[in-house]
Chains A and B, each alone.
Chain A
Amino acid sequence: DIQLTQSPSSLSASIGDRVTITCRASQSTGNYLNWYQQKPGKAPKVLIYAASSLQSGVPSRFSGSGSGTDFTLTISSLQPEDFATYYCQQSYTIPWTFGQGTNVEIK
């Protein structure tokens, strides 16, 4: 199974900060890597697919990069509605797997 390790597991940041979350895969996933945002009590929603493509309707302050085993989700200027938990997920091979999540909190 492909393991996805996110770092950090949690972070505290202020409004306007630039935030970077990394996702490292135990083996190459090509660009079969997606990012999801989940708020408490809600279902996740997709932000970035295929490593770097922004889902329709998602603000442009979100961006993704990487390929192979190392991926990054960046929020260029953190907004109040961005405080949430973020997960990476690979759909390269079954079983699909998720990272453990990164909780972004208000500083």
Chain B
Amino acid sequence: EVQLVESGGGLVKPGGSLRLSCAASGFGLSGTWMNWVRQAPGKGLEWVGRIKAEAGGGATDYADPVKGRFTISRDDSKKALYLQMNSLKTEDTAVYFCSALSTWGGVIVISYWGQGTLVTVSS
């Protein structure tokens, strides 16, 4: 069974940093592209960024609101995905979902999701 379990959320002051972790199990993380999506309280889903598999160079892409402040990384040996968040703003307050990507029917799909971890940026 695929499981993604996020951790590391909490309360942080504006301008601060936080690192989220995602523990993956039940599938081969090393060959899987991974993804972060967030959801502000009472709002819709917002794509944060993705990381390709190491075999694909582990390249990353980010949404404009987080580019230059957030960094996605992975440690396949530990079966873990990370989201390093720096220079946090109040508008970064959200539940952050770790997710796995699959290619189905030739289309990339956000196939599996963690339960999410809440990040609150407030003074």
Q: Which of A1, A43, A46 contacts B97 (CB 8 A)?
A: A43
Contact with A along B63-100 (1 / 0, CB 8 A): 11000000000000000000000000000000001000
Q: Which residues of A contact B108 (CB under 8 A)?
A: 32, 91
B115 at interface, CB cutoff 8 A: yes
Residues of chain B at interface, number, CB under 8 A: 23
Tell me which of A36, A51, A94 contacts B110 (CB under 8 A).
A36
Residues of B within 8 A of A91 (CB): 107-109
Q: Are B104 and A49 in contact (CB under 8 A)?
A: yes
- Minimum distance in angstroms from B52 CB to a CB of chain A: 12
Interface membership of B57, Cβ < 8 A:
no
B8 to chain A, nearest CB (A): 17
A45 to B116, CA, bound (A): 13
Which residues of chain A from 1 to 28 have a CB within 8 Å of any chain B CB?
A: 1
With a CB–CB cut-off of 8 A, which chain A residues contact B61? 94-95
Segment 17-57 of B: residues with Cβ below 8 Å from A: 37, 44-47, 50
Across the interface, which residues of A come within 8 angstroms of B110, CB to CB?
34, 36, 44, 46, 89
Interface centre among A36, A38, A91 (most CB of B within 10 A): A91
Q: How far is the CA of A100 from the CA of B46 in the complex (A)?
A: 9
Query: Dominant SS at the B interface?
Result: strand
- Least CB distance from B38 to A in Å reads 11
Give the interface centre of B46, B64, B105 by most chain A CB atoms within 10 Å: B105
Q: Which residues of B contact A (CB under 8 A)?
A: 37, 44-47, 50, 61-64, 97, 104-111, 113-116
Q: A1-B64, A87-B44 are in contact. List 17 more A-B contacts (CB 8 A).
A: A31-B107, A43-B97, A43-B113, A44-B113, A46-B109, A49-B107, A50-B105, A51-B107, A89-B110, A91-B108, A91-B109, A95-B47, A95-B61, A96-B50, A98-B44, A98-B45, A100-B44
Residues of A participating in the B interface, judged by any CB pair closer than 8 Å: 1, 31-34, 36, 38, 42-46, 49-51, 53, 55, 87, 89, 91, 94-101
